A = this chain, B = another copy of it.
Amino acid sequence: MSLAGLSINLATVREQYDFRQAVEACLKQGITAIAPWRDQVAKVGVDEAARIVRANGLRVTDLCRGGMFPATDAAGRQRALDDNRRAIDEAAALGADALVLVVGGLPAGSRDIASARAMVRDGIAAVLPHARACKVPLAIEPLHPMYAADRACVNTLAQALDLCDALGDGTGVAIDTYHVWWDPDLFAQIARAGAGKRILAHHICDWLVPTRHMLLDRGMMGDGVIDFRSIRRAIEAAGFRGPQAVEILSETWWQRPGEEVLQTCIARFQTLCRLDG
């Protein structure tokens, strides 16, 4: 059965492979869609990465990541804008479906989350004209509330969609099961996102019980408590049929051979995540 519905976020195998090796390993398994991180692209060079993508007919479901807008002072915020414009250029060079934004948390020493959220809105607004000119949609990714302080102060799909409504064309959302599975408002907000044509990416990753580390103990689909099919069903009903991108930051899986990780991703995707399986 075709694996066109499966993308691999290359962070999932970042300890095993560089960009070129990861592409080869994916192709060997029949996977033709990827979502690289900027540091992985930078190591090989964005032009060479783009050449590899084109030469192999790969789909780049998203580039990770822009964002990190809040900063203590104006100079810091300006650096963030400059960096986001470079990220947009890289996403354009790779032909990515979207640039994912992990928006950033509180500036050092701050206890003012409302202000951080305003910086995020202003930051996205500032880079949006460049993103539109480059035809790179910006995918705001709500992160789990446990990352509100240090990683992303956009923490629910509703909040991300409110931002999209305020910012307009060229913005949308990345829906990662790991970050949103708990949300009592999830299905209503997925429907809202679909109605606004806001869904740009669908990431999959499981929530483990117990979770031993807040960043690096994410789970392979099936090893945790998330019902992937019911979320996918809602996302497809909302009109998004793009690939599901496996993004697993896990010290456990980083210690396994890359081929085993990719084969496990495929097997779990087939049995637990896809609707046409």
Contacts and interface: CB of A to CB of B under 8 A. Distances in A.
A93 interface: no
Contacts of A226: 111
Contacts of A196: none
Given A211-B214, A214-B211, A182 B148 contact: yes
Interface in A156-187: 156, 158-159, 181-185
Nearest to A184: B159
Contacts of A209: 106, 149-150
Given A207-B149, A211-B214, A112 B182 contact: no
Interface string A54-73: 00000000000000000000
Interface in A74-114: 106, 110-113
A117 interface: yes
Total copies of the chain: 2
Contacts of A158: 184-185
Nearest to A116: B225
Interface of A: 106, 110-113, 117, 144-146, 148-150, 153, 155-156, 158-159, 181-185, 207, 209-211, 214, 224-227
7 contacts: A110-B225, A117-B184, A148-B182, A149-B225, A158-B185, A159-B184, A210-B214
